[in-house]
Amino acid sequence: MAKTKQTKQQRPIVVNSINYKPDFSKGETTDKPSETQPNQALSMKQILQRYASGESLGGQTPIYHDDEQGEQEGIDFRTLDLVDIEERLEESTEIIKKAEKERKEAQAKKKKQLLQQEP
């Protein structure tokens, strides 16, 4: 028996109503289960309203960072005037001084604990 090589028909460069064959497009298949949740469909209007009001879009709870460090992220200093830049500089130096003070206090506390432990 002679083996015959089966060749898959090549998809034409231009697909139109005359040369279209459904086997050209297999579609997408997945092995994973669907992540959709029943009764959780939202219209575009609802999605935009929730987004604008800060509500979660479903399923996941948003995480907000309200710390001092997060306030300065995303600021374009090129658009600020000199007074605003000076205020940001003062705020930043205060944050740095506070962090250095806390670090020194923690080091002194740790050193004191180590000295108390030694007989």
Give 89-110 pLDDT, tens digit per residue. Answer: 899 999 999 999 999 999 999 8
- Mean pLDDT over residues 66-92, rounded? 76
Whether 22 is covered by a domain: the verdict is no
pLDDT given for residue 1 in this prediction = 45
CA dihedral sign, ordered 71, 72, 76, 82: positive
Domain count, the chain: 1
Whether 86 is covered by a domain: the verdict is yes
Whether 16 is covered by a domain: the verdict is no
pLDDT at 55 over 90: no
Between 38 and 70, residue with greater pLDDT = 38
Question: How far is Cα 70 from Cα 91, in angstroms, rounded to an integer?
Answer: 13
Structural domain containing residue 116: 79-119
Whether 88 is covered by a domain: the verdict is yes
The 10s digit of each residue's pLDDT in 1-48 is 455 454 556 766 787 888 777 765 666 777 888 777 777 677 888 888
Q: H or E stretch including 46? A: helix 44-53
